[in-house]
Chains A and B, each alone.
Chain A
Amino acid sequence: MAEEKRVVLKNIGITDPESIDDYIAAGGYSAFRKALAMDGPGLIDNLIESGLRGRGGAGFSAGLKNRFTSEACLSCENRYVVCNADEGEPGTYKDRIIMENDPHIYLEGMVIAAWAIKATKGFVYIRGEYGLSIRRTQMAVNDMRKYGFLGNDILGSGFSFDIEIKKGAGSYLCGEELTLLESLEGKRGYPRIKPPFPAEKGLWGSPTLINNVETLACLPSIISNGARWYKSMGTEKSPGTKVFTISGPVKRPGYYEVEMGTTLRSLIFDFAGGMQDGKSFRAAILGGAAGTFVDDSMLDTGMGFDLLKEKGATLGSGAIIVMDKSMSVWEMLNSILRFFEHESCGKCVPCRAGSKHLLLLMEEIKKSGNGKEALNARLIRQAEIMEKTSLCPLGQSHIMPIRTAVRYFPDLQ
């Protein structure tokens, strides 16, 4: 049987998530000590060299993001690190697994990043429904303070930094980085216009590094083992490992950490054990609601940012939602569009009106016997307009599942 390659999840099932001593005994915080002996720019070069790309979905170079934030507004008094733990993409639960089972690994990544960019304060923004993640992170932060990994003059380095936890309260949109900052500041979750990017003007207008939980959880291993080691895993353009979460009618739905470039077939049929008895594979949605449909012609494609992009698909958050032949593509797409309509904040017209219009078109498609082609074209056209004119990534996302559902399953049955 195929084996996982655990980097981010290496301590899961081995250490007690509520014990900092356990984490330290497993080698924890040695990467942070090593980082403290390096200078910020050197650390950031290391991250750039490793090729690590953001695990929240966009896949931007984590090292470059660090560099931009560290070099922005040198006269600014404050500089922040924010951990985006507002996981809400349908089909995605990797961050919850990390926070519940090994909170120190991503918090160690966070203090490493903070040192690299000389941040003055850090925030973890966790969705309110993740009670256990919140509790375990709070416990870990308290222990970090006790052990001198947070606070004034950390481990005698002269560097001072602390982390505060902020709870979300039920809004998918707040997982979008600029909206998250609005919410973190205590406001309604309305998106900001981009640019300026958060690296330049983020939290309270100061340079802010925003990283996903899984991205931060990669940092300790990269610093400990070196950029070359990290690059030896995965593919050329998507190095390292990735945590995938597989759901739907497979035998073993769950989370699997494998090297980037592992095929979709291997993930579904080896790791997740294949389809449940009596069911056969029809489609998968990669990357969640803001993701793409694929059919069996894509099963041998490697799961990497560029490998998928070349074929018009997306890796996104690493969600793999599997559908069997008894399931309707129309039902799935409609459910995705209903989800977006529910989560649209209403600030900009294209998304507010467009997401409702798409649902009306879906009803028309359901009723029409023949002549779906013209309706499909209207569906795509509407979503394209939204993609071009919406204020934030939410309104720009509808096109991905729509275009790919129509591409692979034009009758939308």
Chain B
Amino acid sequence: MDIQKILERHSPEPDNMLNILHDLQDANLQNYLPEESLRQVARYLNTTLSAVYGVVNYYTMFSTKPRGKYIIRLCQSPVCHLMGSETVLESVKKLLGVELDEPAADGLFSLELSECLGICDVAPAMMIGEDIYGHLSEANISKIISEIREKEMSANSSK
């Protein structure tokens, strides 16, 4: 990943900080912002590392720790909570063998809780990357996860 190239998609104005951080994180295979990237952002925007870190640290979508290739954002906000998101959380944890906010051993999935994702009509719901999954139950979660795993395995074997 050429960090400089990504930086140069944006003019070096302070208000481009969030868009730059998004682009860098999206381009990172482990979905996170390593310290070296943040240093480059600081240099590019002519500000301090602490100022960049302060921004990164405020917003829940940014991470300074490596994450899985797929980020599962499980909604825990009132509607999903009421429709059973806690049970769903337990199922996902069991299925992936992970705790919250730590990547799975295979590096494929990270599980995070999220506030309202605006998909309340299909609560309880979650997003994996940009894809929306609703009406979650133990049965369909297992199907969703195994489909992604299969897709990854066939992509790897065809390499």
Residues of A within 8 A of B (CB): 87-93, 95-96, 127-132, 166-172, 183-189, 245-249, 253-255, 285, 289, 319, 321, 323, 327, 331-332, 335-336, 339, 342-343, 345
1/0 per residue B55-95: CB within 8 Å of A?
10011111000000000010001110111000000000000
13 A-B pairs within 8 Å (CB atoms) are namely: A91-B116, A129-B127, A168-B59, A169-B62, A245-B120, A246-B121, A249-B83, A285-B78, A289-B77, A327-B82, A331-B81, A335-B81, A339-B116
Q: Which residues of chain B from 120 to 147 have any CB-CB distance to chain A below 8 Å in the complex?
A: 120-123, 127, 130
A254 to B120, CA, bound (A): 8
State whether the Cβ of B42 lies closer than 8 Å to any Cβ in chain A: no
Partner of A321, one of B18, B45, B61, B78: B78
Q: How large is the interface on B (under 10, 10 to 19, 20 to 34, 35 or more residues)?
A: 35 or more
Chain A residues whose CB sits within 8 angstroms of the CB of B35 once the complex forms: none
Chain A residues whose CB sits within 8 angstroms of the CB of B18 once the complex forms: 128, 166-169, 183, 186
Q: Which residues of chain B from 1 to 45 have any CB-CB distance to chain A below 8 Å in the complex?
A: 13-19, 21-22, 45
Could you tell me if A128 and B116 are in contact, using CB atoms closer than 8 angstroms? no
Could you tell me if A343 and B55 are in contact, using CB atoms closer than 8 angstroms? no
Chain B residues whose CB sits within 8 angstroms of the CB of A188 once the complex forms: 54-55, 58
Chain B residues whose CB sits within 8 angstroms of the CB of A289 once the complex forms: 77-78, 116
Could you tell me if A189 and B78 are in contact, using CB atoms closer than 8 angstroms? no
Could you tell me if A186 and B78 are in contact, using CB atoms closer than 8 angstroms? no
Chain B residues whose CB sits within 8 angstroms of the CB of A335 once the complex forms: 77-78, 81-82
A279 CB → nearest B CB, Å: 12
State whether the Cβ of B104 lies closer than 8 Å to any Cβ in chain A: no
A18 CB → nearest B CB, Å: 16
Could you tell me if A88 and B81 are in contact, using CB atoms closer than 8 angstroms? no
A168 to B14, CA, bound (A): 15
1/0 per residue B96-133: CB within 8 Å of A?
00000000000000000011111111110001001000
Could you tell me if A170 and B55 are in contact, using CB atoms closer than 8 angstroms? no
Q: A129-B114, A321-B79, A335-B77 are in contact. List 9 more A-B contacts (CB 8 A).
A: A93-B121, A128-B59, A171-B59, A186-B14, A186-B16, A187-B55, A253-B120, A321-B78, A343-B115
A134 CB → nearest B CB, Å: 9
A343 to B59, CA, bound (A): 10
Say whether, besides A89-B116, A321-B120, A128 and B55 are in contact (CB < 8 Å): no
Chain A residues whose CB sits within 8 angstroms of the CB of B116 once the complex forms: 88-92, 172, 289, 339
Could you tell me if A129 and B120 are in contact, using CB atoms closer than 8 angstroms? no
Closest to B56 in A: A169
Partner of B118, one of A87, A169, A189, A342: A87
B55 CB → nearest A CB, Å: 6
Closest to B119 in A: A93
Residues of B within 8 A of A (CB): 13-19, 21-22, 45, 54-55, 58-62, 73, 77-79, 81-83, 114-123, 127, 130
Chain B residues whose CB sits within 8 angstroms of the CB of A95 once the complex forms: 118
A135 CB → nearest B CB, Å: 9
Closest to A92 in B: B118
Closest to A246 in B: B121
Chain B residues whose CB sits within 8 angstroms of the CB of A172 once the complex forms: 115-116
Closest to B22 in A: A167
- For A95, A128, A168, A343, the residue with the greatest tally of chain B CB atoms inside 10 Å of its CB is A128
Closest to A336 in B: B78
Could you tell me if A332 and B121 are in contact, using CB atoms closer than 8 angstroms? no
Could you tell me if B79 and A166 are in contact, using CB atoms closer than 8 angstroms? no
Partner of A169, one of B13, B21, B115: B21
Could you tell me if A245 and B121 are in contact, using CB atoms closer than 8 angstroms? yes
Chain A residues whose CB sits within 8 angstroms of the CB of B115 once the complex forms: 88, 90, 170, 172, 339, 342-343
Closest 10 CB pairs of A and B: A169-B59, A170-B60, A186-B17, A131-B130, A247-B120, A170-B61, A93-B118, A188-B58, A90-B116, A253-B121
A154 to B116, CA, bound (A): 38
Closest to A189 in B: B58
A400 to B16, CA, bound (A): 36
Partner of B19, one of A166, A185, A245, A323: A166
A168 to B21, CA, bound (A): 11
Partner of B59, one of A93, A132, A170: A170
A321 to B60, CA, bound (A): 25
Chain A residues whose CB sits within 8 angstroms of the CB of B62 once the complex forms: 169-170
Could you tell me if B82 and A96 are in contact, using CB atoms closer than 8 angstroms? no
Could you tell me if A171 and B79 are in contact, using CB atoms closer than 8 angstroms? no
Closest to A204 in B: B15
